Amino acid sequence: MGCFQSKLGPLKQPLNHATINGGGSAVDGDGASAGFSEFTLAELKTATDNFSSKLIVSEGGEKAPNVVYRGRLQNRRLIAVKKFSKLAWPDPKQFAEEAKGVGKLRHKKLANLIGYCCDGDERLLVAEFMPNDTLAKHLFHWENQTLEWAMRLRVALYIAEALEYCSTEGRPLYHDLNAYRVLFDENGDPRLSCFGLMKNSRDGKSYSTNLAYTPPEYLRNGINYSALDMIRGKNILVLMDSHLEGNFSNEEATVVFNLASQCLQYEPRERPNVKDLFTTLAPLQNKADVPSYLMLGIPKPEDVPPTPPQPLSAMGDACSRLDLTAIHQILVSTHYKDDEGTNELSFQEWTQQMRDILEARKRGDLAFRDKDFKTAIDCYSQFIDVGTMISPTVYARRSLCYLFTDQPDAALRDAMQAQCVYPDWATAFYMQSVALSKLDMHKDAADMLNEAAQLEDKRQRSLKGN
């Protein structure tokens, strides 16, 4: 597979990185959730091929125009990048605070916000990319099959769960809740876009939103709230999508219709809370064991490649099991024997600069041995930042420290740097494999594990030949 990128440019330090697995949020000292980063504009330009029109996913927003691009980060992770017009969000501090607020949220039913960029006049949001289109596409612009009734009920349940989570986390108002805000992930599961949790600023003081989808108590301009009038007194069969061709339960449809009517009541006290939505919709799920991708009519997600055919080394086995403790023991015992030949320094550099940076590395090694991973990160960072010596082992060790402190994105970057320093070093590939697994990029992780095993096997055969 090779290195993700042969030469890495300067990267902004992540606020904190972590795996996104499900509900709940781990919040760091900056108020943003683990897994949330401040990206540079250069990083996002690279990820989107300089904001190529070929990568545009959607455009919208009359009052606060924005464009959403598909992109790919250096670590090969797919992202969605929302780029606002230059007139939006004039106050960079306000934009950053709003982004960090939404960035606190982490849930498996959300397309989570993983970062932002605030560079000059540029204002951008970065979210997880959902590859299987929007609910609007599957409802109104389908090609092969309409969305079956059971899948529609699943969508309603999942979005109710996402809204309940947001409400409990202090984000009760979702802007512009509509079919374009519901996205489908690689497994075909519906997720709620995090972009709707972010206010759209026009002048730094007021916010734009689509009033048709806004609770009336949030409005002050006397808009005619007529959605309930549109369905009141109508027969359910008239309201149902004709493309279903009667393939739905009248009893279930009645429950959903009554629930929708309650949600559209003008007075807040007459509307159900989001927990009631989930409680009402959960018993209607009659195909709970059927994968979403089957009901959505999309191909089965790509299977993870098989493990390497040859027996794995101790390092390979530890990485395949994501056993960080075993990896730590191996890196401690290996010490710096793989760094030979990676540095050639002049006598002047040895006498004037080496003492301090070697002392920093020594402190890092002691902290690493004693599993004081935060101190090790600080000491190894001092060693790396000076730049006089370039050590793949230090990158590998700091990568493991990041894994122990729930920062897999940073761990992946260090493993990639180790490979750039030592392109055929199996340890660098193994560390990338572990970090990719922690990022739920299991196919790429398996590819990396295979390649690392092949490099080790090649090296062993070479040693035997000599």
Residues with active-site annotation: 176
Residues 6+ apart with CB under 8 A from 169: 25, 104, 105
Element (H, E) at 192: strand 190-193
> Side by side, which strands form the sheet with 56-60?
37-38, 113-119, 122-128, 78-84, 66-72, 56-60
Strand ranges in 96-156 using DSSP code E only, listed in sequence order: 110-111, 113-119, 122-128
Instruction: With beta carbons less than 8 A apart as the criterion, state whether 203 and 90 touch.
Output: yes
209-223: buried (b, 16+ CB within 10 Å) or exposed (e) per residue?
Answer: bbeeebbbeeeeeee
Number of alpha helices (DSSP H) and beta strands (DSSP E) in the chain: 18, 11
Q: Alpha-carbon distance 359 to 401, whole Å?
A: 19
Q: Alpha-carbon distance 251 to 257, whole Å?
A: 10
Instruction: With beta carbons less than 8 A apart as the criterion, state whether 209 and 128 touch.
Output: no
Q: Alpha-carbon distance 102 to 42, whole Å?
A: 23
Element (H, E) at 80: strand 78-84
Q: Alpha-carbon distance 94 to 459, whole Å?
A: 54
Instruction: With beta carbons less than 8 A apart as the criterion, state whether 399 and 427 touch.
Output: no
DSSP letter (8 states) at residue 83: E
Q: Which two tokens stand for residue 380?
A: 């190894």
Element (H, E) at 200: strand 200-201
Q: What are the CA-CA distances from residue 155 to residues 192, 237, 297 (Å)?
A: 10, 20, 15
